[in-house]
């Protein structure tokens, strides 16, 4: 047993002794190297001392072998690190360095070179594995152990003054061990190195003030989810304190809202006494005045009531035709606190809120509303979206609740007062029609009572849903149901055998039935002449009914507009029809109908504006690609993509547009003929951004497979061929922008990286991001970068900002956030907690913002509310060149380094 380990003990012991001896030798060598390096630094300081003590009132000679720093700054003579691209070829060069161009007292500017990165650190966070490093020498294992941790954190570095003549650069080359020792000495106190960011080599020796300036004066740092993001300050900015600090002089005014919420809501279309059509989408109630004649083109104008804080779900118009009640759903604010559903009563002429009813009294949302008619609208009936669908009656003038009762656990889709008797209220919904008798309790709040009598179907089949009803002049009630039938309910004397309880002496029973539509009936409308209109779901028919439910006339809505959701009667024979595909049609039964308002029907993400026309293009989860005319406020054309569109961009010629889909496919379409001229697939993951270069010669496509695909494009944009791939991001691409010369790209990713790419040079990752600090960008849509880091709110988790866009005149930045808001900041926005102008109206996360070509308008997209807002830019932000930026010299004040 004792000899079991014998054969292996001899070689193992010898190996341990050998390693121990080598370690001792290397430790001695390192001590010698440190001593030699310290002596060299001491000599250099002595050599530079006369220059640093030069008269502060006069500048030092610029051609002296040891150039002096500006007054109050440390000397520029310092050692710097030069990376050869490998761990074992790193050397320390002692040289007289004037610093990088444009930054006299800054750090040496690393030269990225053409090497492929090995574990390249992004400006915004984690390392990106874009390839293997250049092959290097072997070196001893002991030295590799010392250097490797630093190499993972540092990009390859090259001194910016390498162009200096050898006579001006006295150098002392040390061994590879010396290089690693110098690395430890010079970098040990670097905050940048500890954070694993994009550190710059310190031009000052240990203990010198120069290294502090290098770390604090050339970059700012912000944190997202605890991850530091370093951004380099452009050389023309002397101090962050000199940047714009207040909100912009420009303001936004809501000019037009595209869309209508017909997909999933009712009680959403009425005509006011003024002739305006009132409807809603997102948090906005739109008052639309049509232009032209019946069945003619759109036009007209819009006004907007914007008092709501969350999505509007239902409307009711007062008998005076002026006052409007609108109910909103519950929501949450940006801090996650619940927002209570409420009803607003407001004046449609002045757009002023008159009364806020039910704050804190409703749950989940307001599902249905109705004003009383017989007493000139003194009362308002409200049904909320709680489990019990609470039915309540309110005094409109005082905002006081007079009565309340649990109605049913089934959904309630419609409510209304009898026009002949305000004590009679009817509700309908899932498998029920309820007749309520209300006793006002002498007008004392809370003293009123509500009693229910359930409608009995008897020999008639009980439908699954009864979405709508209407009161006839003779007192009867017509209901439309999911079976396509119109039932007539008439009053009859109460019978002890009739199920249900209630104090009414009369009840309602079915007296007639007529089969009107194939599929559900979504809307009924009583016309001024006493006839009734019904709107079908599946068959999309509008039918006019005379006495005795005799069909008089009908028309069919084109299929691409969807089913009939709501009907309102305009002047004369004109009708307004809302559809389930969020379109508002205008016309009559004889001449047909044409759209005056159209919109998307599902979540929106893709948006781009035309390069020289007031047009823009949108796409989303409804698979529709739509081109909008911003001047005429109308849909120019729409096509079915068959797949979800997530991003788009116009070619600079405006002749074609590229659209990225959720499957990795991207299409190029002719904007005139709408024909697909190119169909390409890159990977099998969704595409998040497509962007043409300013000259139109390249197309960049950012994918969720972490790659940016680059294509060469023909002059007309119709043809393209693969040019290369930008490989290096460690997460999916979110945003990208081209430089003004069309040679470089700046990109953001899902893990908050900021990377720069030399496309013209072969799609190479620029490992030295410091050199890109002064590059000018044709567009600025990246949400991470020095010029826009001030837009981020405190405590952000990195997903709070969905989209960002700089105006073409480079004066303002628009931001789309996750809290239903559009923000307007000054540009550049490079101060922490920058103030902004905030605009509401969207009822969902705002997914994209873009300025039109002349900066006259801003377009914003709502996500799940499928709304498109066109904002007019007012104030000092008209078209024109950006204001001149004062000539600035770098300032290295400690205040320039910020933790946001």
How far CA 624 is from CA of 605, 638, 641, in Å, comes to 11, 7, 6
Looking at residues 378-384, what average pLDDT do you find? 96
Q: How far is CA 667 from CA 297, 362, 647, 735, in A?
A: 31, 48, 11, 19
Reported as a single tens digit per residue, the pLDDT across 525-559 is 999 999 999 999 999 999 999 998 999 999 999 99
Average pLDDT rounded to a whole number, residues 869-882: 71
CB atoms within 10 A of CB 457: 17
Q: What is the DSSP letter of 68?
A: P
pLDDT tens across 121-174, in order?
445 544 343 333 333 333 333 322 222 333 333 333 323 333 333 333 333 333
CB 121 within 8 A of CB 127: yes
| Packing angle, helices 6-52 and 141-153, rounded to 10 | 60
Residue 618 scores a pLDDT above 90: yes
What is the average pLDDT across 781-802? 93
User: pLDDT-derived band of residue 448, with 50, 70 and 90 as boundaries?
Assistant: confident
| pLDDT per position as a tens digit, 108-119 | 333 333 333 333
Listed as own residue / partner, the contacts of 883-888 with beta carbons closer than 8 Å and 24 or more positions apart are 883/811, 885/236, 886/242, 887/236, 888/236, 888/237, 888/238, 888/242
pLDDT tens, 358-372? Answer: 999 999 999 999 999
Mean pLDDT of 761-778: 94
Q: CATH class for domain 601-875?
A: mainly beta
**Whether pLDDT at 418 is above 70:** yes
pLDDT given for residue 52 in this prediction: 39
Confidence check: pLDDT of 668 > 60: yes
pLDDT band at 741 (very low <50, low <70, confident <90, very high): very high
Which token pair is 23? 């370690």
Above 60 in pLDDT, residue 600?
yes
* Owner of token pair 């996500």: 863
What is the phi/psi pair of residue 241, to 5°? -65, -20
Q: What is the pLDDT of residue 498?
A: 46
- The residue extents of the domains of the chain are 601-875
pLDDT at res. 292: 53
Q: What is the pLDDT of residues 696-736, one digit of tens each?
A: 999 999 999 999 999 999 988 889 999 999 999 999 999 99
Question: Is the pLDDT confidence value at 4 over 60?
Answer: no
The model's pLDDT over 210-236, given as tens digits with 9 standing for 90+, comes to 222 334 568 999 999 888 999 999 998
Position 406 pLDDT exceeds 90: yes
Tokens of residue 870, six digits: 């066109």
Q: Global pTM?
A: 0.75
- Between CA 540 and CA 534 the distance in angstroms is 10
pLDDT band at 12 (very low <50, low <70, confident <90, very high): confident
- Per-residue confidence at 790, pLDDT binned at 50, 70, 90? very high
Count of Cβ atoms closer than 10 Å to residue 102 Cβ: 14
User: What is the reported pLDDT for 447?
Assistant: 74
pLDDT band at 568 (very low <50, low <70, confident <90, very high): very high
pLDDT band at 281 (very low <50, low <70, confident <90, very high): very high
- At residue 766's C-alpha, the angle toward residues 763 and 767, to 5°, is 135
Tell whether the model's pLDDT for residue 383 goes beyond 50.
Answer: yes
pLDDT at 47: 56
For residue 336, name the pLDDT band (cuts at 50, 70, 90): confident
What are phi and psi for residue 9, nearest 5 degrees?
-75, -40
Q: Is the pLDDT of residue 674 over 80?
A: yes
802: CB partners within 8 A, 6+ apart = 816, 817, 818, 845, 846, 847, 848
What mean pLDDT comes out for the span 328-343? Answer: 84
> Phi and psi of 494, rounded to 5°?
-65, 145
In this prediction, residues 621-626 reach a mean pLDDT of 97
């Amino acid at each position: 047993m004792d000899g079991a380990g014998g054969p292996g003990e001899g070689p193992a012991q010898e190996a341990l002794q050998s390693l121990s001896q080598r370690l001792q030798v290397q430790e001695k060598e390192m001590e010698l190297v440190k001593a030699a390096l310290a002596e060299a630094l001491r000599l250099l300081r002595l050599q530079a001392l006369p220059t640093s003590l030069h008269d502060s009132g006069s500048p030092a000679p610029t051609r002296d072998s040891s150039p002096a720093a500006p007054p109050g700054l440390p000397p520029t003579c310092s050692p710097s690190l030069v990376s050869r691209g490998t761990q074992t070829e790193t050397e320390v060069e002692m040289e007289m360095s004037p610093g990088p161009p444009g930054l006299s007292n800054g750090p040496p500017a690393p030269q990225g070179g053409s090497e492929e990165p090995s574990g390249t650190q992004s400006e915004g966070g984690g390392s990106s594995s874009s390839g293997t490093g250049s092959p290097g020498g072997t070196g001893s294992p002991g030295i590799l152990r010392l250097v490797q941790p630093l190499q993972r954190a540092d990009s390859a570095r090259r001194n910016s003054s390498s162009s200096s003549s050898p006579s001006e650069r006295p150098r002392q080359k040390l061994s590879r061990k010396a290089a690693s020792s110098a690395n430890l000495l010079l970098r040990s106190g670097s905050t940048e190195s500890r954070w694993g960011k994009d550190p710059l080599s310190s031009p000052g020796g240990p203990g010198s003030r120069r290294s502090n300036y290098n770390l604090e004066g050339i970059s700012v740092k912000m944190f997202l989810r605890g991850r530091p993001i370093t951004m380099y300050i452009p050389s023309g900015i002397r101090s962050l304190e000199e940047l714009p600090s207040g909100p912009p002089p420009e303001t936004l005014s809501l000019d037009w809202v595209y869309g209508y919420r017909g997909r999933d809501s009712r009680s959403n279309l009425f005509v006011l006494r003024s002739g305006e059509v009132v409807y809603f989408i997102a948090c906005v109630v739109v008052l639309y005045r049509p232009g032209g004649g019946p069945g003619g083109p759109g036009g007209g104008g819009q006004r907007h009531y914007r008092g709501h804080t969350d999505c509007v779900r239902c409307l009711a118009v007062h008998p005076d035709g002026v006052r409007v009640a609108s109910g909103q759903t519950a929501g949450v604010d940006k801090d996650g606190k619940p927002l209570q559903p409420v009803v607003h009563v407001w004046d449609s002429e002045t757009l002023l809120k008159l009364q806020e009813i039910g704050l804190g009294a409703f749950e989940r949302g307001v599902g249905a509303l109705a004003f009383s008619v017989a007493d000139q609208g003194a009362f308002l009936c409200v049904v909320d979206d709680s489990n019990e669908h609470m039915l309540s009656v309110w005094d409109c003038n005082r905002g006081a609740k007079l009565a309340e009762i649990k109605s049913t656990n089934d959904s309630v889709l419609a409510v209304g007062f009898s026009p002949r008797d305000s004590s009679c209220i009817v509700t309908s919904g899932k498998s029920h029609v309820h007749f309520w008798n209300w006793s006002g309790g002498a007008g004392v709040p809370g003293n009123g009572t509500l009693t229910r009598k359930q409608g009995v179907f008897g020999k008639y089949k009980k439908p699954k849903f009864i979405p709508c009803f209407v009161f006839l002049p003779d007192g009867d009630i017509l209901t439309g149901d999911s079976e396509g039938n119109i039932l007539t309910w008439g009053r009859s004397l109460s019978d002890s055998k009739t199920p249900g309880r209630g104090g009414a002496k009369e009840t309602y029973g079915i007296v007639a039935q007529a089969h009107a539509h194939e599929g559900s009936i979504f809307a009924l409308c009583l016309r001024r002449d006493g006839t009734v209109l019904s709107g079908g779901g599946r068959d999309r028919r509008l039918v006019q009914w005379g006495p005795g439910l005799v069909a008089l006339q009908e028309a069919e809505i084109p299929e691409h507009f969807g089913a009939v959701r709501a009907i309102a009667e305009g002047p004369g024979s004109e009708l307004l029809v809302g559809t389930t595909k969020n379109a508002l049609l205008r016309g009559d039964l004889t001449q047909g109908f044409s759209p005056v308002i159209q919109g998307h029907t599902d979540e929106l993400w893709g948006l781009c504006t035309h390069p020289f026309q007031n047009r823009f293009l949108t796409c989303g989860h409804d698979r529709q690609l739509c081109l909008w005319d911003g001047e005429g406020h109308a849909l120019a054309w729409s096509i079915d993509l068959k797949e979800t569109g997530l991003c788009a961009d116009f070619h600079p010629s405006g002749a074609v547009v590229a659209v990225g889909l959720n499957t990795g496919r991207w299409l190029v379409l002719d904007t005139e003929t709408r024909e697909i001229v190119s169909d390409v697939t890159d990977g099998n993951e969704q595409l998040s951004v497509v962007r043409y270069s300013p000259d139109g010669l390249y197309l960049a496509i950012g994918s969720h497979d972490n790659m940016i695909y680059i294509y060469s494009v023909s002059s007309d944009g119709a043809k393209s061929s693969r040019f290369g791939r930008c490989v290096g991001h460690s997460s999916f691409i979110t945003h990208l922008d081209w430089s003004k010369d069309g040679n470089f790209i700046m990109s953001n990713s899902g893990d908050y990286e900021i990377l720069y790419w030399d496309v013209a040079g072969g799609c190479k990752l620029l490992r030295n991001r410091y050199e890109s600090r002064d590059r000018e960008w044709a567009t600025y849509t990246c949400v991470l970068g020095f010029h826009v880091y001030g837009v981020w709110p405190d405590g952000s988790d990195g997903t709070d900002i969905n989209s960002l866009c700089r105006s073409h005149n480079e004066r303002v930045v628009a931001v789309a956030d996750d809290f239903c808001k559009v923000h307007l900041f000054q540009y550049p926005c490079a101060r922490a907690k920058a103030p902004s102008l905030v605009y509401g109206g969207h009822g969902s996360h705002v997914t994209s913002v873009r300025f039109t070509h002349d900066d006259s308008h801003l377009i914003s997209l709502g996500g799940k509310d499928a709304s498109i807002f066109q904002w007019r830019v007012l104030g000092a932000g008209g078209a024109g060149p950006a204001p001149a930026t004062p000539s600035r010299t770098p300032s290295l004040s400690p205040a320039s380094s910020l933790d946001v």
